[in-house]
Each structure stands twice: as structure tokens, then as C-alpha cells.
Structure 1
Amino acid sequence: MTRLHRRRAIALATLPLLSLPSWAQTGASPSPPPADARASRADSGFMEQAAQNGHAEIEASRLAVQKASDPQVQRFAQTMVDEHTRLAEELATLARAKGVELPREASMLQRGRLKLLSTSQGDTFHRRYVEAFGIDAHEDTIKLFDKAAARADDPDVKAFASRGLPGLRRHLTMAKELPPPRGSASKGS
């Protein structure tokens, strides 16, 4: 190999290193947050569960945007996608700052409910989406956020939960006000 070819090979081999952060160039891991910034076990658990709940809500609502026949349900679902995505982004930022790795998908149980929802059609889809993801999921998430807002160890986690509660409560109210499926006599059927 000539001297010119060798220089080009070395230059090309080191090119990717120029765009990597310094910790990656040295082979070290990024430094974790300081010990006093790390989340407690309970706060980590809250963030992980909140992330799973958010993934489930977003996925179910994306299905509803596509499959719901009622325009009100579609609008509600799009609002859930938009607002839960923003909440998830805020949670991800908080989790990174606290050294918590969040789940990338809904829990196994939630994925089962999503699968059942995805195979539903018409009025059955409408009823399952509104009951399982509009009402039940929001009631569960409100309980989760209420507990964290009252008892979280970290003031940032507590503040995040407190900020999220008004929107979650509004979502629950919106879900309860959705019209029942056409074939239902009342919301409870």
C-alpha cells in the first residue's frame, strides 16, 4: 500500500470518530447522573409505569384515529395521541436526568388489550376503546400520578406528576362525555 493510500485509509477510518461524543471515542460509557440526582426505587417505578401507560394510550389512540367510525371518537383519539406524546417527551427528559431507563412499549397486559382492540370493528371497537383506554386507563393513570404527586421522593418527579394531573383529569372527562356506540342504549352497555 502506498503512503498516500495509507493516509487516506487512516483518515477514512477516523472520520466516524469525529462525530461521536467524547465518551464514545474513549470507549467509556456516558457518566451517570450524580448520586443525588438519581431517582429512588419508588420514583423510578412511577416513571416506568407512566411510560408504559403512555405507550398504551398512544398506540390505542392511533388505532382509534384510523378505525373509529364516530368523528368525535376520532377527534378525542387524536387529542390523546398529541397530548400523551408531549407528556411522554417530558417524562423521557425527566427520566434521563434522573438516570432512569424507561420501557419502550406498553406492558405485556396492555399489549394484550391492544391486540384485542386491534381485532375489533365497528361498535365493539368504539366501546372497547372508550371503556379500556378512554376511561379505565385514565382512571388508573390518574391514581398513579396522584400518588406520585403526593409521595414522590424527588421534587422534580413530584412536580411532573402534579403538572400531568389536570390534563389526565380532562381526558377522563372527555372520554366519559363521548357518545355511546350507535348500537348501545346507554354508555354503560
Structure 2
Amino acid sequence: MLRRLIVLLAVLAGMSAGGTAVQAAAAPTPTVSEQDRTFLTEAHQGNLSEIQAGRAAQEQATSQAVKDAGERFVRDHTTLDRQITEVAGKLGVTLPDEPSAEQKAALEKVKANSGAAFDRAWVEQEIGDHRADLAAGQKQQSEGSSEQVKQLARDAGPVIKGHLDLLENIKGSGG
């Protein structure tokens, strides 16, 4: 009798554990579309590029406004990138380790300048980058499938817009 009770308990324990495994296997995994993957990858590379560009501005700019913008970009894009890498990790999206070749070449072209020419080239490059970033965020919000990735785009929008406004003010003031 005791032996039957032990066998019965073992069977029930196995069924219970098996049921949990089946339930876990049946849990839906987050949907990540190609649009979501592309946004995560490009936003991550954009952040890495902006961090490098911000450091270049801090080192090479002659205008205090450009140096300050560079410092702000490093801080803000580091924060944004932490959020992107966290979500990408949760969704199983592998991100590259560096900016794209095009982004690296664009920064090298800007860094080849010195003095006020560097400042002007840096501001122009950053205005173009931030406009493209805003457009990518809007596309993600309308075409993405992952709510987490769409939320990243929504959250980054005001930061990117603030950077663009700052850059346009710097450009407008000539420095």
C-alpha cells in the first residue's frame, strides 16, 4: 500500500512538472518583425555613432555651444542605447558592436576639419543624422510590430527632437 502511494505521488509530481513545462512552452514569445530588428540595429548603431561624434565635438570643437552639445549627446545617447540593448536582449535580437561603415566614414570626414570648419561640419552632419533618426522613429511607430520597440521609438522622439532643436539654434547663431 505504501509503495502504491509513493508511485502515485511520483506520477502526480511528474504530471505537475510536465504540465508546467508544457505551459511554459506554450507561452507566446514576443513578435519581432524585420522592421523591429532593423530599427533596433540602426538605432543602436546610431547611438554608438552619436556617442563617438559627441566625444569628437568635446575634443575638437572651438565653439563652447558645440562642445556642450557633444557632451549632452554622449550622455543622452548612452542612456538611449542602454534602453535599446536591454529590449534587444529581451527580444533575442543581436546587435552589432560598432557604428556602420557609412557612419564611421561620415565622422572621419567631419573630424578631418579643424576650427570653425569642424564646428560647421559637425553641426550639419548632426542635423542630417537627427532628422533621419526622427523619421526612423516615426516609421517604427507606424510599421513596427513589437510594442516594446515602438515604445522605444516613442520615448526617444523627444530626446532626438531636443537635439535637433539645439543643433538648429547653434547653426542659426553661427556657432
- Write out the 4+ residue segments of structure 1 that deviate beyond 4 Å after TM superposition: none
Q: Does 1:151 align with 2:146?
A: no
Please state which structure has a larger fraction of its residues in helix: 2
Distance 1:155 1:74 in 2: 36
Q: Which residue is equivalent to 2:57?
A: 64
| Structure index of larger Rg | 2
- TM-score normalised per structure 1: 0.74
Contact 2:63 2:116 survives alignment (8 Å): no
Structural RMSD (CA): 1.3
Distance change in 2, residues 1:96/1:38 (3 Å): farther
Q: Say whether the 8 Å CA contact 2:35–2:143 is kept in structure 1.
A: no
Q: What fraction of aligned residue pairs are identical, expressed as a percent?
A: 27
TM-score of the pair, normalised by structure 2: 0.80
Q: Name whichever of 100-109 and 36-45 sits farther off.
A: 36-45
Q: CA deviation at 1:37?
A: 2.2
AA paired with 1:165? G
AA in 2 matched with 1:72: A
Q: Structure 2 residue aligned with 1:140, among 114, 132, 135?
A: 132
What SS does structure 2 have at the residue aligned with 1:103?
coil
Q: Is the 8 A contact 1:38 1:99 kept in 2?
A: no
Equivalent residues of 1:60, 1:117 under 8 A apart: no
Aligned match of 2:174 in 173, 177, 180? 180
Q: Which runs of 5+ in 1 are unaligned?
A: 1-33, 182-189
**Amino acid aligned to 1:148:** Q
1:10 paired residue number: none
SS of equivalent residue, structure 1 residue 36: coil
**Which secondary structure state, in structure 2, belongs to the residue aligned with residue 84 of structure 1?**
helix
Q: Distance in 1 between matches of 2:38 and 2:98?
A: 15
Distance in 2, Cα, partners of 1:137 & 1:124: 18
Contact kept, 8 Å, 1:39 with 1:154, in 2: the verdict is yes
* Equivalence for 1:93: 86
The verdict on how the C-alpha distance between 1:103 and 1:35 changes in structure 2, with shifts beyond 3 A counting, is farther
Q: Assess if the C-alpha contact under 8 Å between 1:64 and 1:77 holds in 2.
A: yes
Report the counterpart of residue 79 of structure 1 in structure 2: 72
Distance in 2, Cα, partners of 1:169 & 1:141:
9
Are the equivalent residues in 2 in contact too, given 1:130–1:175 (CA < 8 A)? yes
Change in 2 beyond 3 A, CA 1:106/1:162:
same
